[in-house]
Amino acid sequence: MPQKNSFATCLFSAAAALMAQAAHADGVRQPTDVMPAPAEARVSEGRVPVAGVSLVVAWTRPAGGRLQAAVDRLQSRWLARIGAGSFPGTESTGLQLAIDCRGSGPPIPSEGDDESYTLDIAGSRAMLRAQTDFGAMHGLETLLQLLQRDQAGWFLPVVAIRDQPRFPWRGLMIDVARRFQPVPVIERNLDAMAVVKLNVLHLHLTDDQGFRIESLSHPELQGRGSDGRYFTQAEIRGIIAYAAERGIRVVPEFDIPGHATSWVVSHPEIASLPGPYGIERQWGVFNPVLDPTNEVTYALLGDFLGEMAALFPDRFIHIGGDENNGVQWNANPRIQAFIRERGLKDNEGLHAYFNQRVAAILAKSGKRLVGWDEILHPGLPLDCVIDSWRGTDALAAAASLGYDGILSNGYYIDLAYPAADHYLADPLPALSTLTASQRAHILGGEATMWSEWVTPETIDSRIWPRTAAIAERLWSPAGVRDIPDMYRRLAIVSAGLEEAGALHERNRDLMMRHLVGENLDVPGVASLRTLLDLVEPVKHYNRGQQQVWGSQLVPLVGIADAARPESGLSREFADSVDRLLFAPGAIDRSLAGPIGDRLREWGAAAREVTGALVPEFPALREAEAPARDLADACAVAAEALRAIAEGTPLSADRLAASLAALDRSAETNGSATELPVLGPIRLLVAAAAAQGERPKLPDAGWRARVLSIAFPPAPAEAAR
Ligand code: ACM
């Protein structure tokens, strides 16, 4: 229900956000539904009605070109949102926006730029103040997110916002090497990054599967290493300019010495074993690794990195450094002799030697080296930066040695985990024992979009909206951690991300057409939509294990690709099952009816997919198993729900049979998808069997009892 003119004055600080969580978790719009949550938002009684469609901007000081362009972009989003039905006849003046921006930041943003702003909305106007245009642009995004509507029309809250980021490095890494992602993908994701105040685009440009950057000094690198799918230098300059216009830095990564097959396709002489080499098409960790003992390696790296240092203005260059399996170094007696002669001890010592040489090459161009955890060896220059895919302990260990670091572990959005998992990962966990000066080394973090299993059609749906939750972790105060409230605001910002150009929701129809052809109106397609809303791609690295034929050359147009990493429908279902079973004091049987309706609807949809659609559309064959699994699970759930509604416990036999059926529904089925509703359905079954115990148990004891039946320990664990 929309609220009108009844906002109590409150301080939306971290603590208030926590206290307010219960009241906010029910889908009602709040005055400051902004993501990332501002550091401080003081809301007052009343609202500022936004009557006219225009945004009338008054400048305290002359506007810089970059900020003027940002205001122009905001104007068009503002108009598109509130202009519907308003033309012609725009008689009333729109919102007055006064902007006081003290100056432009540098033409290319750099780490440590002032990104703070204040936004005061009261009376009939908004006042935005910032030290730099970077801060002002963040304030513009906040303003647009604050705009909301009820029956009375568009309005803004009366609010005083003081905002600045918690961490200076808030990134999104896009792997364009494994599957190339062309310029339009990058640009629309830069637009979306700006919405949630992310400020670093990390481009993973070279890997075993592709060399995706044009070298003019060594054109054979992209010439033989990319199938012609790479960014030209002109395109890169365009991306850098586009990003800078939005206050976003661009950090390139050239992964060496491992993950380097695409280098040695054209330069086998710098590999650690003789070639020939071809572009790697599949996924994993491969043997080819550069030869750190060969001066020719450093000559080529000097040419190439010098060229890249001139092309990319950012002060940081990422050189990867991860997952060198050592196979080629071990197999080359000359390399092992080099290690002995130089007293380098082992392969790790050789890797350290290599990094020192590369850091020296970069230092000549004034660049700081960034690398994954594996680069951290004794002797690594102190100005190098650790990008941790291992975790906060590794990051803290590096910080205590004096290295700056960023966290990527916990933000692996390619692994298809829920937003909540990423949201709670913190570069500086609450229990961190780092001192204040060590904490200053923790610069922030990055969401990592590895591209084994994404294409330009699906990548947005893997990045968004979950990355907005990561953006909040990196921007907002550490105490902003309420998961239901995060999900409530994530749904709102998701629409804003699409408004800015992201395609994560819109592309669903495109993915459905791969499955059923061009006509989405054919009978039964609504059922397919329901199925796709309930399945998720398998988690972690399981897709690669299940679809071992996966490669760069295989299209990604299956059920797992049409599914979203996190099923909102399944999460809602889990919430309603939780409210039914774990209501304080007693099972809330009044909720059984609506849940039963849901299950019947899903069961019917699943049967329609298997009965009507699969025979018709060959591309849907892999939907048959998940649809059958869903139908079976819905039948099991319906029986449990009936037993709960009637207050008649399921027999031990029926309990065992139901759990066994759910085990079958959870088996790997070739589609690389899973059904998250199976978890809450197991709870329904367990509670149906144990419901007689409910009156005798305290709330926590009842929950534990149901969980222990639904998810019995594996036999090995039970024996311990
Ligand atoms: C990595 O995931 N190997 C950085």
H/E/C letters for each residue in 326-383?
A: CHHHHHCHHHHHHHHHCCCCCHHHHHHHHHHHHHHHHHHCCCEEEEEHHHCCCCCCCC
Q: How far is the CA of 113 from the centre of ligand 1 (A)?
A: 28
* Radius of gyration, CA atoms only, the chain: 27
pLDDT of residue 23: 38
pLDDT of residue 88: 55
pLDDT of residue 107: 97
Identify which of 174, 175, 265 has the alpha carbon closest to the alpha carbon of residue 226.
Answer: 265
Q: Is residue 187 lining ligand 1, measured as CB closer than 6 Å?
A: no
pLDDT of residue 249: 98
C-alpha distances out from residue 69 to 125, 130, 252, 351, 476, Å: 21, 16, 26, 46, 26
Query: Block means of pLDDT (10 residues each) for the chain, length 720 residues?
Result: 31 35 56 96 94 88 95 93 68 85 97 97 96 98 96 94 98 98 98 98 98 98 98 98 98 98 98 97 97 98 98 98 97 98 97 98 98 96 98 98 98 98 97 97 98 98 98 98 97 97 97 95 95 98 94 97 98 97 97 96 98 95 97 98 97 98 96 98 98 98 98 72
Q: Is residue 541 lining ligand 1, measured as CB closer than 6 Å?
A: no
Q: How far is the CA of 285 from the centre of ligand 1 (A)?
A: 10
Q: Of the residues 322, 411, 451, 453, which should be mutated to test ligand 1's pocket, given the most ligand atoms within 8 Å of the CB?
A: 322
Q: Is residue 322 lining ligand 1, measured as CB closer than 6 Å?
A: yes
pLDDT of residue 71: 97
**Dihedral sign, CA of 187, 142, 415, 566?**
negative
Domains of the chain, CATH where assigned? 7-25+507-719 (no CATH), 40-163 (3.30.379.10), 169-499 (3.20.20.80)
Ligand 1 atom with the shortest distance to the CA of 323: 3
C-alpha distances out from residue 668 to 207, 547, 608, 613, Å: 30, 11, 22, 22
Q: Of the residues 206, 285, 372, which should be mutated to test ligand 1's pocket, given the most ligand atoms within 8 Å of the CB?
A: 372
CA distance 36 to 195: 9
Give the residue carrying structure tokens 């900020």.
67
Q: Which residues of 304-334 are buried (b: 16+ CB within 10 A; e: fewer)?
A: bbbbbbebbbbbbbbbbbbebebbbbeebee
Catalytic entry in 40, 187, 235, 323: 323
Q: How far is the CA of 64 from the centre of ligand 1 (A)?
A: 40
Ligand 1 atom with the shortest distance to the CA of 387: 4
pLDDT of residue 25: 45
**Dihedral sign, CA of 556, 558, 560, 566?**
positive
Q: Are 183 and 238 in contact (CB under 8 A)?
A: yes
DSSP-derived 3-state class of residue 534: helix
- Whether 323 is catalytic is yes
CA distance 294 to 273: 12
Query: How many residues does this entry show for the chain?
Result: 720
Q: Are 685 and 636 in contact (CB under 8 A)?
A: yes
pLDDT of residue 27: 59
Give me 710's structure tokens.
């639904």
Q: Is residue 338 lining ligand 1, measured as CB closer than 6 Å?
A: no
CA distance 163 to 40: 6
Give me 24's structure tokens.
């906010």
Indicate the pTM of the whole model. Answer: 0.95
Q: How many CB atoms lie within 10 A of CB 345?
A: 11
C-alpha distances out from residue 493 to 129, 222, 232, 314, 486, Å: 23, 38, 33, 29, 10
Q: Whose CA is nearest to atom 3 of ligand 1?
A: 322
pLDDT of residue 715: 75
pLDDT of residue 22: 37
pLDDT of residue 24: 41
Give the residue carrying structure tokens 């050189």.
319
CA distance 347 to 332: 12
Ligand 1 atom with the shortest distance to the CA of 389: 4
| Single-letter amino acid code for the residue at 615 | P
Q: Are 375 and 395 in contact (CB under 8 A)?
A: no
Q: How far is the CA of 252 from the centre of ligand 1 (A)?
A: 15
